[in-house]
Structure 1
Amino acid sequence: MPAVPNRRHVPAADTLSVLSSAAMRGPLQDLLRARGLKLEHWEHLRSHHRPGGAVSALYRVRCRRPAGGGGPNPGTDLTLHLGATTADGTVAAGPEVAAARIAGLELQLWVHPHDPVLRSLPWATDAAAVARDVFAAAEPVRLSLVAYRPLRRAVLRAEHSGQAAYLKLLPPALLPGLRRRHRLLEAGSVPAPRLLPAPADAARGAAVLSALPGTSLFRLLVDDGAAKVRPETFLELLDALPSAALDLPLRRSWADRAEDYAATAAAALPGQAARIRDLARGIREAVDSAPAGPLVPAHGDFHEGNLLLNGGTVTGLLDVDGLGPGRRVDDLACLLGHLAVLAAANPGRPQLDRALAGYRRVFEEAVDPAALNARAAGVVLTLVSGARAGQGASRTRNALVRLETAHRLLRAAG
């Protein structure tokens, strides 16, 4: 019987540190060398830490195909994106995946777009193939990457001759549920994207969705605090979710997983670990003590980036992956928590503070105020680890802004 490798547990904070450190040059160089390429320069773009699971990272590299080394276009410079993950058992071995071991970490690496779980990503990033299969056109489409979380999801926008569609890629096991949710919404009055015909083979890991008109609530809030939008509009939208959503699987809310997200936040801010654990404990106690209300059809990720409007009318409800039974307070807390972070990160835009106060006032009349604010704190805790540099501040500074915002919301719940 072969010996079982002796694998030691590497703390998440150490994993994040290694994946962004100079030590990654070796594995990246090996990955490229096996493809006849020489690494010239590399940079770590971002890491994704899944609560209780793997850590994945993305890199941008500049490399060269040596002259006389064989292969097409010898001597040319290339810019590529590479991925790496600690996922164990999720990533199947294959010609596009390379294994590496560094600082006690067992890694799997690949060259984008050959994501080892999102197998349709090479098709979705091929402008000619998408033109042929989605638009029945000979001229290539214009593609833009909207979102990408390695091994988990990708969204691309495709445009051709004034038409647009979105390509949403998920692990294959999740796609039937996504399609079922879109069909439920198509049968009702909620303005969600429609499922469009998709090629059977090349895009078997993708859903093709219609584009919707409107401006995101995020943009409206930043511009003028969404002055034309009544907060009550979102209560009415949630009321319109189909009752058949109650037959879908129940998923835990963001606040219900406060301890899991505290671990990812502490890995991103190791110096704040004790404070983060105390915050998660306070959220759990507040959530357990405040009435959550009955199970109702819920969106599951109800925030300003997933809402499109024209004037004061909702024209689009996006990202319906989490549609199912839930608590109204959690959907409202999701929007309130995101709005609180937006206001805190933009102190020079007083319209955001005014919007936050107005939305809180309306939402506190619809659900229990203590439950609303405690669960909003739980939502913000999930956002700490995903903070990036921006608005003239470092990633760490922006993560601390989110942490303090979660504390303020928890105090409001008390």
Structure 2
Amino acid sequence: MGDTVYIAKESDALEPRVAASPDTVKRMTALGLDVIVQKGAGAGSQISDEAFQAAGARIGTAADAKKADVVLRVRRPSDTDIKSLKAGAIVLAQMDPYGNEPALAALAKAGVTAFAMELMPRITRAQSMDVLSSQANLAGYQAVIEAAHSFGRAMPMMMTAAGTVAAAKVFVMGAGVAGLQAIATARRLGAAVSATDVRPAAKEQVASLGAKFIAVEDDEFKAAETAGGYAKEMSKEYQAKQAALVADHISKQDIVVTTALIPGRPAPRLISRDMLKGMKPGSVAVDLAVERGGNIEGARPGETVVIDGVTVIGLLNLPGRIAASASLLYAKNLYTFLETMVDKESGSVKVNMDDELVKATALTHAGAIVHPAFGGQTSKGAE
């Protein structure tokens, strides 16, 4: 039997997702890995211990983490979790590294090789490992479902003998993965959808989903995209022009979904209190960036509040609200990355620090922080 992989039960009581599925357990055992799943790890995602066992895993306890060569998690291990890891262990998780340097230092001190799955580069080879995309897709979908639930009216146009119900007007701010899925979901529900983004490439994507594109399309807009395909921060002048256009448009909307994030930076403020005040009573706004400071002024992390008659939804971990689906996708992301490190002959896991995916995602290795974005220098050679 090869190296041991441990699937942890999340220590955060508000995290129902799990880092493996029966399918990925089956695939890992086929590679020669010994898989231990902590008892109850899949309960929040409707995966029983028996289902993991049937796929080839052993059901273990928290103490089994000490035996593991590889630990798979949804979120970064807590200080208590870190103490249960053996030196040299590989940990794959969403590490939320920005602004959490003390946690990275603790991982380095423990001697583990920690990978931040959310730093996976957006290149063709890594598409199937991109946890941000898989989870943002579900967040965009769930944002519209939550909005529809709070809206109190029907979404599609309905022509009945008693009269006509007008279609809800939905405006999506940010047309990345989450935004595009929000557009598609709102369209499926029959809403009249519009969207905005600072990236020129988004205009065609928005139109392809049958939504109307709203933006100030000046020279700065035409140049506004980073080499990695992410949005970049716009000038104050552009922001003012865009805010004026958006304020006018927003006043006519029933539902607004905001999805704007800039990696490593606080979320940009897109909707002010004045804009909310201009919306119709009974309107709904969903802030998908609330964990990073929020796009909507007054949005509160983990809460739904009513501001000037507008319901502002700031729910955390939207993918976790559909954990059964989110876990299946996340588990496949982790497995696909882990598979690149497995020696097919011996079933042992070896980290090649020169691999481009490893360089992009490795935070700690051999007792040090190695990621350049967090003060480290990526080391050379293979282990």
Give the TM bin, normalised by the shorter chain.
Answer: under 0.3
Instruction: Provide TM-score, normalisation by structure 2.
Output: 0.21
Instruction: Provide TM-score, normalisation by structure 1.
Output: 0.20
